[in-house]
């Protein structure tokens, strides 16, 4: 959410930003907010004047009563009563006006970083850099569900009977591999100086609206019926929410946390064949990283965060690339975002396995996360988040890139301690 003062003083920048994000339908909101804000300030001024006058006249009443001028004092009391009613009316109008302002401000997008490429959607995202050599072997790589099933490691039919589409059973070596990757990612981030955390897997509505846009909320979140609770779509939600209404000492920054959680998502809409199996699902597990820092430090932390993901995937022999998200592909709270995509030798292209985002002070403004500076002043923190790893989607990249012609899967050295020392997985049967 933007600072109302910024919108008031620089409405053209806000309008251009809306156009850059191809959300022209939101342009009228700017003028609406300006008019509501003008009226709100008029109300506040009138209330202030009325209260000042009431305080002044109250002193006159005391003086008149001492002088025995009861009739004059009674008339003034009547005037004060009328002014009191007017104050009540204005206060009610002020509350409603502020609600309308907030309602509109919550859907006006954050100002994107000048470096963000302008584009309508993810088809116009820009490749930044590749890490590792993408290889296409001279043997056919099966679809990821077939690879998993060759190890008796996946049961979609049973999951469908139990929970419906978008769920899965992982079994045996594949389930162990899933847990190994999560455990390795945890220790990898701890090694990079991040504090490990297991957060709540449900959050209240004020946290939901604090960390994401209404559009994201509607598309992603599962509501717990009868309670003010939502299942998290990513642990970033509860990790940033940890600091709601907090004043953080500047000396404690940056706060760097890495968290494990299951994630629950609606995943609305139909998807193509490449997003079936365990690619786009309602439930998965993830290792996440978040940073709360000073505003001037958020650009450097943004680069550190995505680099962590690149380094982790390269340590698992998976080629990756980074992709700068264009303006139209940015969620409304984001200042800048970069996707990490893994190489799929079967598809002969890259696919998303993580997303790194700088949200500036948008989440901090909504959640009231402030920093206490040494000079006694207070300011809003900047927040960032990034996926460390999110199996089972990550398993698709891992299995395809480490698959051998005989159907076995090589285990990179860094992962072997988490796999009981195994250097490869041997299939139970060939698909």
What is the average pLDDT value for the chain, to the nearest integer? Answer: 92
DSSP-based three-state secondary structure for 165 = coil
The number of beta carbons lying within 10 Å of the beta carbon of residue 95 is 11
Distance between CA 424 and CA 408 in Å, rounded?
7
Distance between CA 344 and CA 339 in Å, rounded?
15
Q: Among 265, 277, 268, which residue's Cα sits nearest to residue 159?
A: 277
pLDDT of 273 higher than 60: no
Provide the pLDDT for residue 270.
43
Distance between CA 15 and CA 29 in Å, rounded?
9
pLDDT band at 216 (very low <50, low <70, confident <90, very high): confident
Are 414 and 180 in contact, with CB atoms under 8 Å apart?
no
Distance between CA 338 and CA 358 in Å, rounded?
9
H or E element: which one contains 338?
strand 336-344
Q: Among 289, 336, 290, 426, which residue's Cα sits nearest to residue 110?
A: 336
Residue 275 dihedral angles phi and psi, to the nearest 5°: -110, 15
Domains of the chain: 4-105 (1.10.287.40), 122-425 (3.30.930.10)
pLDDT band at 57 (very low <50, low <70, confident <90, very high): low
pLDDT band at 47 (very low <50, low <70, confident <90, very high): confident
List Cβ neighbours of 362 (8 Å cut-off, separation of 6 or more): 1, 2, 110, 333, 334, 335, 383
What percentage of the chain reaches a pLDDT higher than 90?
A: 81
- Per-residue tokens: 99: 């609600």
Q: What is the pLDDT of residues 297-340, one digit of tens each?
A: 999 999 999 999 999 999 999 999 999 999 999 999 999 999 99
Provide the pLDDT for residue 298.
98
- Per-residue tokens: 141: 């790589």
Distance between CA 361 and CA 380 in Å, rounded?
6
CA 357 to chain centre: 8
Are 321 and 339 in contact, with CB atoms under 8 Å apart?
no
HSE-CB for 9 with a 13 A CA cutoff:
5
pLDDT band at 198 (very low <50, low <70, confident <90, very high): very high
Sign of the dihedral defined by the CA atoms of residues 167, 173, 175, 181, in that order: negative
List Cβ neighbours of 49 (8 Å cut-off, separation of 6 or more): none
Q: Which residues pair with 352 in a beta bridge?
A: 341
Distance between CA 246 and CA 233 in Å, rounded?
23
- Per-residue tokens: 280: 């786009």
87-93: long-range contacts, CB 8 A cutoff, minimum separation 24:
87/47, 87/50, 87/51, 87/54, 90/43, 90/46, 90/47, 90/50, 91/47, 93/43
List Cβ neighbours of 113 (8 Å cut-off, separation of 6 or more): 335, 336, 358
Provide the pLDDT for residue 67.
63
Question: Which residue shows structure tokens 């923190």?
Answer: 381
Q: What is the pLDDT of residues 129-183, one digit of tens each?
A: 999 999 999 999 999 999 999 999 999 999 999 999 889 999 999 999 999 999 9
Q: What is the pLDDT of residues 217-228, one digit of tens each?
A: 888 899 999 999
- Per-residue tokens: 165: 């589409």
- Strands 247-249 vs 370-372: parallel, antiparallel or unpaired: parallel
Q: What is the pLDDT of residues 356-397, one digit of tens each?
A: 999 999 999 999 999 999 999 999 999 999 999 999 889 999
């Amino acid at each position: 959410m933007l600072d109302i003062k910024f919108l008031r003083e620089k409405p053209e920048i806000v309008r251009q930003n809306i156009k850059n994000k191809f959300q022209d339908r939101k342009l009228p909101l700017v003028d609406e907010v300006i008019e509501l804000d003008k009226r709100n300030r008029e109300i506040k001024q009138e209330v202030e004047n009325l209260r000042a006058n009431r305080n002044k006249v109250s002193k006159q009443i005391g003086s008149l009563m001492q002088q025995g001028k009861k009739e004059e004092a009674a008339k003034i009391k009547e005037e004060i009563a009328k002014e009191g009613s007017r104050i009540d009316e204005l206060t009610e109008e002020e509350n409603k006006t502020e609600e309308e302002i907030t309602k509109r401000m919550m859907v006006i997008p954050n100002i994107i970083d000048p470096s963000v490429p302008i584009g309508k959607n993810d088809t116009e995202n820009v490749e930044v850099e590749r890490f590792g050599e993408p290889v296409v072997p001279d043997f056919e790589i099966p679809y990821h569900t077939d690879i998993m099933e060759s190890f008796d490691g996946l049961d979609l039919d049973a999951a469908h009977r139990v929970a419906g589409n978008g769920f899965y059973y992982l079994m045996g070596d594949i389930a162990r591999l899933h847990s190994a990757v999560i455990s390795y990612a945890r220790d990898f981030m701890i090694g990079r100086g991040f504090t490990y955390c297991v957060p709540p897997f449900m959050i209240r509505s004020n946290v939901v609206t604090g960390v994401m846009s209404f559009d994201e909320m509607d598309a992603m979140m599962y509501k717990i019926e009868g309670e003010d609770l939502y299942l998290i779509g990513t642990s970033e939600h509860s990790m940033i929410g940890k600091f709601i209404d907090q004043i953080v000492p500047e000396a404690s920054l940056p706060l760097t946390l890495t968290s494990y959680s299951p994630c629950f998502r609606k995943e609305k809409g139909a998807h193509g064949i490449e997003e079936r199996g365990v690619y786009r699902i309602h439930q998965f597990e993830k290792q996440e990283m978040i940073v709360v820092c000073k505003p001037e430090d958020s650009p450097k932390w943004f680069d550190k965060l995505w680099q962590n993901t690149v380094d982790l995937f390269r340590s698992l022999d998976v080629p990756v690339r980074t992709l700068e998200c264009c303006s139209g592909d940015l969620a409304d709270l984001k200042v800048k975002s970069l996707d990490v995509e893994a190489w799929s030798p079967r598809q002969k292209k890259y696919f998303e396995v993580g997303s790194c985002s700088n949200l500036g002070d948008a989440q901090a403004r909504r959640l009231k996360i402030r920093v206490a500076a040494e000079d006694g002043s207070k300011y809003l923190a900047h927040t960032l988040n990034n996926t460390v790893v999110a199996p089972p989607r990550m398993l698709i990249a891992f299995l395809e890139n480490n698959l051998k012609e005989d159907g076995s899967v090589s285990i990179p050295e860094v992962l072997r301690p988490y796999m009981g020392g195994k250097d490869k997985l041997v299939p139970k049967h060939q698909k």
